[in-house]
Structure formats: C-alpha cells, structure tokens
Amino acid sequence: MTVLKALYHNGEIDFIEKPAKEEMANVLVVFPETRTEKRVLRGAVHSSEKIDYEQMEKDLGDLSKNCEKHLREEMQ
C-alpha cells in the first residue's frame, strides 16, 4: 500500500506526489475529520482542575492520525 498526499477540490483530486503506478488501480480516499465540538460538562462530577480544551483538541488530532495510520497498516 502506498500513501500519497493530494488536494481535493470541486470534486477532483490533484496529486501533490506522483504515484509510482501508471496503470489503473483501486484506491481508498480518506478525508481527515476537521471539525471538532467542545461541550461543557454538566452533572454531579465536580473536578478541582479546569479542563484543558487545547490539550483535548491536540489529543483528538493525535487520535485521528493514529486511526489513519492503523487503517494504512490494515490495508497492507
């Protein structure tokens, strides 16, 4: 399996990197999730520490990258 960077716009994909293959091939297109949602926690749980939303967003980005890496490994 080969992973290449590309740009998607107006329904078309333009490769940034040139594929090694010239012949027809099946491909898997993965769009990374760019939207995140922040919510205020409510309920009986009261923490003495404030929630670090910036760290939470970083952790979600890391999780997304790890999921993408896992998908690439599974496809090999």
Domain that holds residue 32: 6-20+27-75
Q: Is 70 helix (H, G, I), strand (E, B) or coil?
A: helix
Q: How many separate domains does the chain show?
A: 1
Question: Can you give the pLDDT at residue 72?
Answer: 79
Instruction: Please give the model's pTM, rounded to 2 decimal places.
Output: 0.36
Q: What is the pLDDT of residues 6-65, one digit of tens each?
A: 888 888 888 888 888 788 888 888 887 777 677 776 666 666 777 788 888 888 888 888
Neighbours of 16 (CB within 10 A): 8
Answer yes or no: is 16 within a domain: yes
Residue 47 is predicted with a pLDDT of: 64
38: in domain: yes
Asked whether residue 43 is assigned to any structural domain, the reply reads yes
Fill in the amino acid letter for 1: M
Query: Three-state SS across the chain?
Result: CCCCCEEEECCEEEECCCCCCCCCCCCCCCCCCCCCCCCCCCCCCCCCCCCCHHHHHHHHHHHHHHHHHHHHHHHC
Q: Is the residue at 36 inside a domain?
A: yes
Inside any domain, residue 54:
yes
**Is 58 contained in some domain?**
yes
| pLDDT given for residue 44 in this prediction | 62
